[in-house]
């Protein structure tokens, strides 16, 4: 695998940030209804951040700044020892993180800092690294601060791994920073977890249940760490960060104004997710707009055939966050046809959105290997790295995943060189979504093709009882000799952590999701499946969750045109007995 060079943003050498920063983030207004800026109890408004250059740490930075604090980056081990409060947002693979910490001398300094009971907050991998070792690509030794091992969720019984989505906490001991999370859900995205035991029970402040109990948060003295992502857990997550940053324990039972209007919902299980999708492209005037296709055609039916304009990306994303979307997905449907890292407007959309949207952001479009006009080669890993640095939490791969799956099915060999394999190895499979764009092909008999077929609930135009789903590339313009079922199985083996399942036939029709397709794919894989294409009413969401094993449902046009509010979808689902985050 090609080595990744790191530089400090803004110049100067460091091992802590990717050297792909292209321009500073634009400013955008913050929601006026959230008055969350605060100062620490001792008057020091500086937070030290240990950023070793993997994944989306921009969101943590934005959340800290949103709360009114300044950031001092760790450049050498002494910076850790000088810190008055330290935040470690670990992202990616356990082995690569420990390798970085050991090679730079950070591991020893971090160990000394935490053993001294100084204010510390670890996030996700920042919690796991505190344990003795991890089984991820290992065993790999950790920092040996908390007894126990980090192991993978057991998917042998059909549990979907990674654990992605909004889940509830069960509290084991008092923790002032978690008070605002009682009865609420927080956002998890991980494949590995630590198990509570007699040896570490004094550390455990909260657990979560997903195929069994695992450690969701730890606390001992001034040391805190959480498996979930507070920076992606909306108002509740900001409240948790605020509790740590202020260090104010004088009112342990009182939550901040961020969550005061959110009464406890007695959350207990993983919620089904409702995702807002924004198809983004330049119109004929060169402006970046949100659009929506009708079976992938985004142009109006008028004589001028202009690109359908449904709003500005950053504004709409912010509105959907305030409306309660569990995630926001950007699909750049112009596909970066020349070179993705030259697409400064789309990168700025990510940067600006992540300043004020504190739920997960996914970006898709053009994630593959490139050569620029000067002949320099850029790997898909470098392209993905810039998206992560710009604010994305997950990247979505389309056409490149189809070609990789075709080759894998033909040879049976994992080369380690595909975009799927490289990105999932560095960032973890939970950061990689594969977007499948199939078209229904009707059949008289399931024996007519060598691909997996389905018996249809509704006959085809000529009375056909069967169909297979042919995968396409290049925005649905080119059919490929591989079915959606075969593709889904292959990309799961190659490292995909989630599938975004579209349907060209249903796109823009408003008649509901393709239940046959969603059922086929969601039962074929052990990773989460997002149902997409066709939503036109709230009933379509309950239908797809009740009749298939989909983990999430995505919609675009009905939200853009304000035909169905996100809140109406969630209230309907709740009334139908489906667990959702409200």
Residue-by-residue DSSP string for 439-487: EEEEES-GGGSSS--EE-SS--TT---EEEEEEEETTTTEEEEEEHHHH
Same structural domain, 358 and 210: no
Torsion of CA 232, 235, 241, 243, to 10 degrees: -160
How far from chain centre, in Å, is Cα 226? 17
Does residue 388 sit within a domain?
Answer: yes
In terms of pTM, does the model score above 0.75?
yes
Same structural domain, 392 and 530: yes
Euclidean distance between CA atoms 425 and 418, whole angstroms: 11
pLDDT of residue 30: 36
In 3D space, the residue among 331, 272, 343 whose CA is nearest the CA of residue 556 turns out to be 331
Q: What is the pLDDT along the chain (582 residues), one digit of tens a residue?
A: 333 332 333 333 333 332 223 333 333 333 333 444 555 445 479 999 998 766 668 899 999 999 999 999 999 999 999 999 999 998 778 888 899 999 999 999 999 999 999 999 999 999 999 999 999 988 999 999 999 999 999 998 889 999 999 999 999 999 989 988 988 999 999 999 999 999 999 999 999 999 999 999 999 999 999 999 999 999 999 999 999 999 864 343 333 343 333 334 556 689 999 999 998 875 555 566 676 545 444 444 555 555 455 568 889 999 999 999 999 999 886 644 455 555 557 788 889 999 999 999 999 887 888 877 788 888 899 989 989 989 999 999 999 999 999 999 999 999 999 999 999 988 889 999 999 999 999 999 999 999 999 999 889 999 999 999 999 998 888 999 999 999 999 999 999 999 999 999 999 899 999 999 999 999 999 999 999 999 999 999 999 999 999 999 999 999 998 999 999 999 999 999 999 999
Same structural domain, 239 and 292: no
Same structural domain, 330 and 421: yes
Same structural domain, 494 and 550: yes
pLDDT of residue 41: 46
- Residue 163 belongs to domain with CATH number: 3.40.50.880
- Residue 349 belongs to domain with CATH number: 3.20.20.70
Write down which residue in 206, 231, 246 finishes a domain.
246
Euclidean distance between CA atoms 559 and 536, whole angstroms: 10
Same structural domain, 89 and 135: yes
In 3D space, the residue among 291, 277, 295, 292 whose CA is nearest the CA of residue 506 turns out to be 295
Phi then psi for residue 351, to 5 deg, are -60, -45
pLDDT of residue 558: 94
Same structural domain, 173 and 312: no
Same structural domain, 179 and 316: no
Structural domain of residue 498, as residue ranges?
A: 273-434+482-575
Does residue 30 sit within a domain?
Answer: no
pLDDT of residue 72: 96
Catalytic (active-site) positions: 124, 229, 231, 279, 437
Same structural domain, 287 and 230: no
Does residue 111 sit within a domain?
Answer: yes
pLDDT of residue 360: 97
Same structural domain, 292 and 187: no
Does residue 441 sit within a domain?
Answer: no
> In angstroms, what CA-CA distances link 116 with 130, 143, 221, 240, 499?
14, 14, 10, 23, 44
H or E stretch including 47? strand 46-49
Q: Are 503 and 470 in contact (CB under 8 A)?
A: no
Phi then psi for residue 515, to 5 deg, are -60, -40
Collapse the DSSP code of 416 into the 3-class scheme (helix H, G, I; strand E, B; otherwise coil) and give the result.
coil
Same structural domain, 96 and 132: yes
Euclidean distance between CA atoms 370 and 382, whole angstroms: 10
Rounded to 10 deg, the angle between the 484-494 and 419-427 helix axes is 40
Q: Are 261 and 570 in contact (CB under 8 A)?
A: no
Same structural domain, 171 and 295: no
Does residue 518 sit within a domain?
Answer: yes
pLDDT of residue 98: 92
Domain count for the chain: 2
Write down which residue in 179, 211, 246 finishes a domain.
246
Write down which residue in 230, 246, 262 finishes a domain.
246
Does residue 208 sit within a domain?
Answer: yes
Collapse the DSSP code of 245 into the 3-class scheme (helix H, G, I; strand E, B; otherwise coil) and give the result.
helix
Does residue 159 sit within a domain?
Answer: yes
Euclidean distance between CA atoms 536 and 341, whole angstroms: 35
Does residue 551 sit within a domain?
Answer: yes
Q: Are 344 and 335 in contact (CB under 8 A)?
A: no
């Amino acid at each position: 695998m090609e080595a990744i060079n790191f530089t400090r943003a803004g110049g100067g050498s460091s091992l802590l940030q990717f050297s792909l920063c292209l321009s500073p983030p634009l400013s955008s207004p913050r929601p006026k209804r959230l008055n969350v800026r605060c100062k620490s109890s001792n008057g020091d408004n500086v937070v030290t951040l240990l950023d070793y250059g993997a994944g989306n740490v921009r969101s943590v930075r934005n959340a800290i700044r949103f709360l009114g604090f300044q950031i001092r980056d760790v450049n050498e081990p002494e910076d850790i020892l000088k810190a008055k409060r330290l935040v470690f947002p670990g992202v990616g693979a356990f082995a690569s993180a420990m390798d970085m910490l050991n090679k730079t001398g950070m591991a020893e300094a971090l160990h000394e800092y935490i053993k001294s009971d100084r204010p510390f907050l670890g996030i996700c991998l920042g919690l796991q690294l505190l344990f003795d070792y991890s089984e991820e690509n290992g065993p790999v030794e950790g920092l040996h601060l908390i007894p126990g091992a980090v192991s993978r969720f057991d998917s042998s019984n059909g549990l979907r791994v990674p654990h992605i989505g909004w889940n509830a906490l069960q509290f084991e001991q008092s923790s002032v920073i978690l008070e605002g999370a009682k009865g609420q859900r927080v956002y998890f995205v991980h494949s590995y977890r630590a198990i509570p035991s007699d040896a570490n029970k004094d550390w455990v402040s909260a657990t979560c249940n997903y195929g069994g109990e695992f450690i969701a948060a730890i606390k001992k003295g001034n040391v805190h760490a959480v498996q979930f992502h507070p920076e992606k857990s909306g108002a509740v997550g900001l409240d948790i960060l605020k509790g740590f940053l202020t260090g104010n324990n004088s009112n342990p039972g009182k939550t901040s104004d961020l969550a005061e209007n959110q009464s406890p919902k007695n959350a207990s299980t993983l919620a089904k997710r409702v995702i807002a999708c924004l198809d983004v492209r330049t119109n004929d005037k060169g402006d970046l707009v949100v659009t929506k296709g009708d079976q992938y055609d985004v142009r109006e039916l008028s004589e001028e055939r202009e690109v359908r304009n449904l709003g500005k990306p950053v504004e709409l994303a912010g509105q959907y966050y305030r409306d309660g979307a569990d995630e926001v997905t950007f699909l750049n449907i112009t596909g970066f046809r020349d070179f993705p890292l030259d697409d400064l407007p789309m990168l700025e959309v990510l940067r600006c959105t992540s300043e004020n949207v504190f739920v997960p952001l996914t970006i898709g479009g053009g994630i593959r290997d490139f050569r620029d006009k000067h002949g320099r080669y850029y790997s898909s890993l470098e392209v993905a790295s810039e998206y992560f640095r710009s604010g994305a939490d997950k990247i979505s791969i389309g056409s490149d995943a189809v070609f990789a799956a075709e080759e894998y099915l033909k040879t049976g060999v994992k080369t380690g060189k595909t975009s799927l394999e490289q990105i999932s190895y560095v960032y973890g499979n939970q950061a990689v979504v594969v977007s499948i764009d199939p078209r229904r092909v009707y059949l008289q008999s399931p024996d007519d093709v060598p691909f997996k077929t389905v018996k249809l609930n509704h006959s085809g135009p000529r009375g056909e009882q069967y169909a297979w789903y042919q995968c396409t590339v290049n925005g649905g313009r080119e059919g490929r000799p591989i079915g959606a079922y075969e593709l889904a199985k292959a990309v799961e083996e190659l490292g995909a952590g989630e599938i975004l399942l579209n349907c060209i036939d249903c796109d823009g029709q408003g008649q509901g999701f393709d239940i046959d397709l969603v059922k086929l794919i969601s039962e074929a894989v052990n990773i989460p499946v997002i149902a997409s294409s066709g939503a036109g009413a709230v009933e379509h969401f309950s239908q797809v969750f009740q009749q298939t094993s989909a983990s999430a449902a995505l919609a675009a046009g009905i939200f853009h045109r304000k035909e169905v509010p996100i809140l109406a979808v969630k209230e309907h689902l709740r009334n139908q007995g489906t667990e959702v985050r409200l």
